[in-house]
Every structure is written in C-alpha cells, then in structure tokens.
Chains A and B, each alone.
Chain A
C-alpha cells in the first residue's frame, strides 16, 4: 500500500493525482470497448489538457512541490515525485503534444477494433511518461521507465495481424528492456553504495569509487538503449511500424527522450568523469552521423524522419552529456524545439499519407502544388530542423554551437572533437532535410502527379498548423522560449546560463551555422543524383538478429538435451539427485546409531506394514497397468490406516479420500493406454534402474531412522497446540495450522492445485483436438 491511507488522491498531492488520472482514464477506455471511441478520445484529450493546465498552475506556485509515497520502507524504496523546472518543461511537452496528437489521431485512424486500444494505451503511456519526468529518484524513474517500454511495445504492435509490426515491437521491447535491467542494476548499486537513489541527495554528496563507476556504465547503457544511441539505434526505425501518431508522440517527442532526461539528471552530478564524456561523445557522435547518413538513403519519408530523429537524439545526448553550463541550457532549449518541429513533421507526413495514399519519395509528385499551405508549414518545420534562420531550430542550434565552441574550458580537447562531430552531423542534417522537402513536395519528371484521395479535415491539419506556427513564432521571438527554459536548465545545473536571440551578430557560431547550411546545400546538390547503395558495415540491427537467433537456438538445443520427454530418464535423474542429497545428509550427521528403535507398536501395525510391502513389490513385478495401479492404491490405503492407528484422524481421512480419487483418475487415464507395460520400456538398462531404486529406498530408510531422534529444539507443534484455541478459535489444531498459522502455505498449495487442474484440462483438450483433426482427415481419405 502506498503511503498514508485516505490522502492518496487529494489536493494535497496534485502530481500523484495527475499521474493516476491518466491511468484511470486509460484503463477505463480499454475496459469500456470500441463503441464509444469518440468519447474515449475526448476523455483522453481532456485528461492530457488537464495535466497541461495543472502543470502550468503548479509551476507558477513559488514553492517546489514534492510528493513522497513510501512503498517498501525497509528497503528504502519510495515513489518520489518532484516538480522542478526541468520536469515542468518535459511535462508540458508530454501533455501538450499528447493532447494535440491524440486529437489528430481521432481524425487519422479508422475507428476500428484497434482504435480503442490505441487511445487507451496512448493515455496510459502519457501517464507513465509524466511520472518519468517527475521522478525525483532513480528508482521511481525505473518504475515509470519500464512502463513506457511496455506501452511502447503495445503501440508499435498495434496492428497485431502484421508480422512485421509484431517483430518490431518485440525488438524494441527487448532492446529497451535490456536497458531497463541495466537501470535496475544501477538503482541497486547506488542504493547499496550511497544509500539513496535520489537525484538531490546524490548531488549533495556525490559518491565515488569503482562501484559508482559501474553504476554509471549501467546508467549510460540504459540511456543509450532507450534513446536509440549507437549501437542500439536500430530499434527506433523498426518502431515506425507503428501508426504515424504513435511515431510522432512516442518515438520522436517523448519516450525516446527518456534516456536524454536520465543523462540530463545525472550529468551535472557525475559528468566530470572521463569515461562518461568519452562514451557520450563517441556514441552520441556516431549516432548523429549514422542516423543522418541512413536518413539520406530512405525513400519512405517516415523512415527518413525516423533516422533523422536518431541523429538528433545523438546531438542532444552530446549536449546534455557534456553538461557544461551553456550546453545544458542549449540542450533544454533544443529539446523543446525538436519536440515541436519533429512532431509537426511526423504529423505532416501523416497528412500526406492520408491524403495521397503514399509516403514514398519515388511515387509522390506534385504534392506541394496541390497542398500549398501544408507544404509551406511542413517546410517551415523542416527548416527549423536544419537550423535555418529565422526559425526556432536556428536559435537553439546556434546556442549549442556557441556552447561547444566554449566547451574546451570545461572538457578540454574533447570539446573540439564534439564540435567537429556536431558540425558534420549538422551538414548531413541539412542534406536530409533537403531530401525530405524536395522528395515530398517537389515534382518528379518521371512520375505523374499524385491524386488527392481524401481531403484532410481540420483536425488533421490543425495540429500541423499549430506546431509550424510555434516553430516560426518561436524563431522570430526566441527570447520567450529562452526565458522559459532558463529556470529549467538551472534546476538541472545551478550554473546553467544562456539566452536565445534571433540575430546573434556575426560571430564564430553564426559563421559556423552559415557554413553548415551552405555546405549541406552544396553537398546535397552534388550528390542528389547518386544512388546510395553502399551499406554501413556496422549494423546494430544485424547484430541484434544474430544474438536473438543464437539465444533461441541455444535454448532449443539445451531443451532438446535436457528435456527428452522420457519419464524413465526424468525419474532416474531426479532420484539420483535425491540419493546424493540423502547420502550427504546421512554421512554429514556421522552418527549412525539409532536409539530406542521400536519394531512395531502393535500387531495390527506390523500386519499393515507387511501388506504394504507386499503390495509395493507386486506393483513393480506385475505387467498389467491396471493391477499396478490397484497395488498403488493398496499401498496408499495401508498408509492411511497407519495414520489412523497413530491417532491422526485428519491425515487418515484426507489420505483415504485422496487415494480413492487418485485411483479413479488412474483408471480414467488407463482406459486410453495399452493394457500391459511394454516389455522393455527404455534404453536406461534395467539393472541400473533397479540399483537406483534400491539405493534410494535404502537411503530413505536410513535417513528416516536418523531424523527420528535428531531433534534438539522443541517442536513448533507444542506452541501451536497452546495458541490454537485462543488465537485462532479452533480446537482442531491440524485445521488451524492449515487455514491460519500456515495459511500462506495453503494458499500456495491450492494455487498449485488450480494450476494442475487447468493443466490437465488443457492437455486433454489439445489431445482431443488433435484426434478430431486426424479423424477428419482420415474421413476425407475414405471419402
């Protein structure tokens, strides 16, 4: 249970309420069904807008809001939410874009059977992502992190009838799931080493040492997988199997930023380590280059944008990972700018796809002429992506360049490497932006103009207009965003500083920007006619496939060896282990003498034991299965009588009933089996089986004799006997133990019983279906 009862959802804890509201609405949408899809979307949009407004209102309060729910206090595990500046920015992106994209999706999708699932999971995801950005400690972040992976899996695989979608979903889940495990490892290491995973506490007294470094490697691994950094970048383009609104939201604006958020939180605390900086620059740089270069090869404009996102994620990883004061500021600003222009581009592609029925550069032609307004808006967003003045992307990228040029004060020569990588990456960005614009909206000489199939409604175009408007207005008056993100940047790192301007004046960064644009445009003109056939030799996707396939084939081989399906082999193996354990236990005790051995309490007892022994021998010797089963019953009934003689009526009663029913079940099964055992059932030699059986029997007997007088403490039975009546209100101590003292055991046992019964049911049904199919095909042959 979380926290004090009664105050879980209240005005006292607005952030918890916001997150829970998402989950409540999301689950309700999933539960209610498809018939009210309009209502589902509306309620989802309302929840996201409420979250947006709540976030704005909370951010205007003076005090920093902090909510903590103890989960497992003994382990120091708490759900800890804190609304600092950075959380506000990310939260606004999550809820604002979420509301916009969900409304867009209502017009984009056919309202078919998957739509409801989309809307429900979408809102659930928004809740998890909001929780993630609000997380004040690593553990809380881990919980929401895993939720986002799961919801992303469900949304990528939304079209569950497409094999490609299912495969991509699984690939994304396994990759980000691996990162999730790494994050859990980091949580454990920090908890053990520093006693806390809270970002604030870690920042106050940063721990150091080998364990902390190991934890940081795990943190980087988690961030790199989640944010599609090289060499884990391959899952993101695969995730484009998801519908466009999903791609726009999860796989460009929000979820893939989770790794960036993690790095942004950790870099001010631990970012001064060499291995941290080098991993960030190397992996981030490679991601930026590879993403950009592969974007240049794409004909599907959605995939082109996806690789563009990979490239941009590498860029942002460098900004936050190096974590100098001005780079942190530039990072927050660019995070917002990227969320706006990339979501706008994806939604624009969605409109083109919806209207013209294609996303292929080699098919689309003349789109720009037929939809001038849409083209203009998409071009505005695209130019913001390329960093063209006077759009928002220019201001933020310029800030990043300024930060990188200055960064050698902080990080030495590595700053120059990062600068070169970012400049090269930006040149490629300009190139794929031009490819996107000309490919989507230009005219092809070798193709007829595409036809308008469906006119897009205002709900489809509206969000694109809004986002493009933000890119343009934000670019013209960048100071507004610049002021808004200063507080958030300072909440990450108190030293963070900077401001955004439209016209920076002619300085090194501005000239670099111009150089990037000119270089990118020239290179694109020079290479646009080239076919990009050369593949990049380092291919994470292929590596993933190899690992995945070999894990499967290894487990298949291990299964083939260890699970032969032969009952004899299983029994011999089990019994040999039991034998070894018994022998060790007996000789460990060392004392092989037995005191006070009584042969028999009474003549009845002796008689029954002799009968049981005779039945056991008979059951092994006879060749009829039926007789064997009957002998087994005799053994069981004999034991029941022994229980009764010893004054254990409960045990005797239960044993009697179980034996009866077991015998009946045996008979039911034996109806369908050969009457006799096979003459020589298996390749485990008869002699060997005999030796194992006899040895187990002998060892068991010795063991029983030993434990007979091995007790040194008092029996728990006596305590139970005293407590039975006053504590549990029962005089039958056996029953009281079952339902009260050891009730958990009973709960576990009946669960096993339930599973066993369901297992029998399914086995029988499978066999019946198989036989019906065989019978049917046999009939066909006869006919």
Chain B
C-alpha cells in the first residue's frame, strides 16, 4: 500500500467500483454500433481496479478479483481464438461473422452478431492484462504479502 488510506478514495472506491464495472460492460456491448468496444470496455474495468488499488492497496484488489488475472488472459485469448475459428467448421473463412436476431419477451428483438463474442474475448484479455500488471508491479519489492 502506498501511504495512508484516504476516506475520499475509500468512499469513491465503494461507490464507483461497481458502477465502473457496469459501465465497462455497457461500453463493450454497445461497441458494435456506437463508440466503445471490448478494448475500451476492458480498459475501463481495468481503471476500476486501479481505483480500488489506490484506495485499498494490493490486498483489496486481490480479494475482489474472483479469478486469477493470468487465467483471465488465457480465457480471453481462448474465447477470441475459438470465435475466430468456429466458421472454419462450416467451411467459411475464419472470423466470418454471423448475425442472429433473437426476440425476447419484454425487451423485444435483439440483434446478436457473432463478432461481439470476439469482442468479449478482447475484453476479458484486456482486463486480465491490466490486472496482471497492476498486481505484480503494485506488490511490494519482496512480493511476500502487503
């Protein structure tokens, strides 16, 4: 942890962390039609963790990330690569996108593009990368605790 804990940061973290995570997912999902996307969304989620780090130090970051950050990187890469490779099974070139319209009750018709899933992989990988760097560069020089 760097320096003392600040109440301002503590409160900001408490209120903003979940909001930022929501925003990041929103930015990722809307990316196909409006400014945003997986990369930007992932960076926003990453900055949420940075805020948490500044407020509560490395331990709080570790506690709040459910999965191991480096696994998140692998997961993201696998998701993207699989989405890219799936069209090969039906003989199409890799990364061909498929558009499906699903009608849901209440919400109405939703258009789902397969490349959004590719973007999900990018999102996961970017979050994982930011978290990995943060956790490692942010830990103390000996890497054994606080």
Which residues of A are interface residues toward B (Cβ below 8 A)? 1, 649-650, 653-654, 657-658, 660-661, 664-665, 668-669, 671-672, 727-732, 734-736, 738-740, 743-744, 746-747, 750-751, 753-754, 756-758, 760-761, 764-765, 767-769, 771-772, 775
Contact = CB atoms under 8 A, between A and B. Distances in A.
B9 interface: no
B33 A764 contact: no
Interface size class of B (residues with CB under 8 A): 35 or more
B43 to A, nearest CB: 4
Nearest to B42: A657
A664 B121 CA distance: 24
A617 B57 CA distance: 34
A520 B70 CA distance: 68
25 contacts: A650-B36, A650-B37, A664-B50, A665-B133, A668-B134, A669-B137, A672-B141, A729-B97, A730-B32, A731-B32, A732-B32, A732-B33, A732-B35, A734-B35, A739-B97, A744-B84, A744-B94, A750-B121, A750-B122, A753-B126, A757-B70, A760-B133, A768-B139, A768-B143, A768-B144
A735 B99 contact: no
B115 to A, nearest CB: 4
A4 to B, nearest CB: 11
Given A650-B35, A660-B47, A735-B36, A754 B129 contact: yes
B93 to A, nearest CB: 10
B113 interface: yes
Nearest to B46: A661
B115 A728 contact: yes
B55 interface: no
Contacts of A769: 143
Given A650-B40, A729-B113, A732-B31, 9 more contacts: A650-B36, A657-B44, A732-B35, A739-B115, A753-B125, A754-B77, A761-B133, A768-B143, A771-B143
Nearest to A764: B136
Contacts of A754: 73-74, 76-77, 125, 128-129
A760 B136 contact: yes
A764 B139 contact: yes
A747 B80 contact: yes
Interface in B73-110: 73-74, 76-77, 80-81, 84, 88, 94-95, 97, 99
Given A754-B77, A764-B136, A740 B33 contact: no
Given A654-B39, A657-B40, A728 B113 contact: yes
A669 B33 CA distance: 37
A772 B137 contact: no
B127 to A, nearest CB: 11
Contacts of B119: 735, 738-739
B56 to A, nearest CB: 15
A201 to B, nearest CB: 30
B130 to A, nearest CB: 6
Contact of A731 (B33, B81, B137): B33
A757 B128 contact: yes
A758 B132 contact: yes
Interface of B: 2, 31-40, 43-44, 46-47, 50, 70, 73-74, 76-77, 80-81, 84, 88, 94-95, 97, 99, 111, 113, 115-116, 118-119, 121-122, 125-126, 128-130, 132-134, 136-139, 141-144
Contacts of B141: 672, 767-768, 771
B94 to A, nearest CB: 7
B36 A764 contact: no
A751 to B, nearest CB: 7
Given A750-B121, A753-B129, A661 B137 contact: no
B50 A661 contact: yes
B15 to A, nearest CB: 19
Nearest to B126: A753
A251 B123 CA distance: 51
B81 to A, nearest CB: 7
A649 B30 CA distance: 14
B129 A743 contact: no
Nearest to B35: A649
A668 B138 contact: yes
Given A665-B133, A747-B84, A764-B137, A739 B143 contact: no
A650 B46 CA distance: 17
Nearest to B44: A657
A746 B122 contact: yes
A753 B31 CA distance: 20
A546 B50 CA distance: 54
A738 B125 contact: no
B77 A761 contact: no
A658 B34 CA distance: 19
Given A653-B35, A731-B32, A751 B142 contact: no
B121 to A, nearest CB: 7
A661 B115 contact: no
B6 to A, nearest CB: 16
A649 B43 CA distance: 15
A756 B32 contact: no
